């Protein structure tokens, strides 16, 4: 007897921000393999297209839309296109985000504002645009990408930690406001994950010492290594699947230890 399929997203429309690379790309690829019609949203249109092309090349369904999540006009245009092309939205993954290194004293105001615009305002704008489509269609799932930085003190991450704390709070607010309308909202709080951003950060801040610092950062993780984008994607799949129906307003830590 063939076992029943679980964790499927067959025929669901899933929009994923920041899906041109890293965690967002891994989520897009996995969701497509599980049957979703994926809308790849990214500020970098070429990167978004590459992800969508990878999905289509393996038999999946995907489209790419350039979207600046910090700009209301860009978000409105992107979600308008989703509505026009699909007529619905079942899953929204707010993954797009940027990092920053600095304390309260060393963080320039323009940098603080930029982190806020992308990491906080971006989640707000995409939720504001996506939720009406979900409610109109009878329900859906919003998954926000927070961070372990929203829970513990990490040195020199003042603005970034602030922004991810806001994402955690927004997750709970959306869950409460929309649970009677059939919409669930949860968030994932990963520890350090090895993505192209990490490689770029090391090259910029530790030229010539990249391997040494990569080892140091990896060994500082509870599991002795950085997480992988595919591991975050697997958790995202569960939270966005029907099997996770009881999960709402939840924060899931992904750091290898209690």
Tell me whether residue 100 is in a domain: yes
Same domain flag for 111 and 216: no
Quote the pLDDT of residue 4: 65
Tell me whether residue 4 is in a domain: no
Same domain flag for 239 and 123: yes
- The predicted-structure confidence for 86-115, as pLDDT tens digits, reads as follows 999 999 999 999 989 899 999 999 999 999
Tell me whether residue 207 is in a domain: yes
Same domain flag for 89 and 161: yes
The DSSP code sequence of 191-252 is --B--HHHHHHHHHHSTT-HHHHHHHHHHTSTTSS-B-HHHHHHHHHHHHSGGGTT--S-EE
Q: What are phi and psi of 172, to 5 degrees?
A: -70, -35
Q: Which residues of the chain have pLDDT under 50?
A: 257-258
Tell me whether residue 76 is in a domain: yes
Tell me whether residue 1 is in a domain: no
Tell me whether residue 91 is in a domain: yes
Quote the pLDDT of residue 34: 97
Tell me whether residue 3 is in a domain: no
Same domain flag for 140 and 167: yes
- The predicted-structure confidence for 194-224, as pLDDT tens digits, reads as follows 887 788 778 877 888 888 888 877 777 777 7
Same domain flag for 202 and 112: no
Q: Using a cut of 0.95, tell me whether the model's pTM lies above it.
A: no
Same domain flag for 141 and 209: no
Phi-psi region of 14 (alpha: psi -120 to 50; beta: other; left: phi over 0): beta
Distance CA 49, CA 53 (A): 6
Quote the pLDDT of residue 193: 80
Task: Give me the active site residues, please.
Answer: 160
Domain range for 214 is 194-226
Same domain flag for 42 and 169: yes
What is the CATH number for 26? 3.40.50.720
Count of structural domains within the chain: 2
Quote the pLDDT of residue 2: 63
Tell me whether residue 8 is in a domain: no
Same domain flag for 171 and 205: no
Same domain flag for 150 and 217: no
């Amino acid at each position: 007897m063939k076992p029943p399929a679980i964790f499927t997203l067959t025929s669901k429309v899933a929009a994923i921000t920041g899906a041109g690379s890293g965690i967002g790309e891994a989520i897009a690829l996995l969701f497509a393999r599980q049957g979703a019609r994926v809308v790849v949203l990214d500020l970098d249109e070429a990167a978004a297209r590459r992800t969508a092309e990878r999905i289509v090349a393996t038999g999946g369904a995907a489209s790419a839309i350039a979207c600046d999540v910090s700009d209301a006009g860009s978000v409105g245009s992107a979600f308008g296109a989703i509505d026009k092309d699909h007529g619905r939205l079942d899953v929204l993954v707010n993954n797009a985000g940027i990092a920053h290194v600095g304390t309260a004293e060393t963080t320039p105001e323009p940098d603080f504002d930029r982190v806020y615009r992308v990491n906080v305002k971006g989640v707000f704008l995409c939720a504001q645009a996506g939720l009406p489509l979900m409610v109109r269609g009878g329900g859906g799932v919003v998954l926000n990408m927070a961070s372990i930085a929203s829970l513990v003190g990490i040195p020199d991450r003042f603005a970034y930690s602030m922004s991810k704390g806001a994402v955690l709070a927004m997750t709970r607010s959306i869950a409460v406001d929309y649970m009677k309308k059939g919409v669930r909202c949860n968030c994932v709080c990963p520890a350090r994950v090895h993505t192209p951003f990490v490689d770029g950060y090391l090259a910029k801040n530790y030229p010539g010492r990249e391997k040494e610092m990569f080892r140091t950062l990896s060994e500082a993780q509870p599991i002795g290594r950085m997480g992988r984008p595919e591991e975050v994607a697997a958790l995202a799949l569960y939270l966005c699947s029907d099997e996770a129906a009881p999960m709402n307003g939840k924060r899931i830590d992904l750091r290898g230890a209690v």
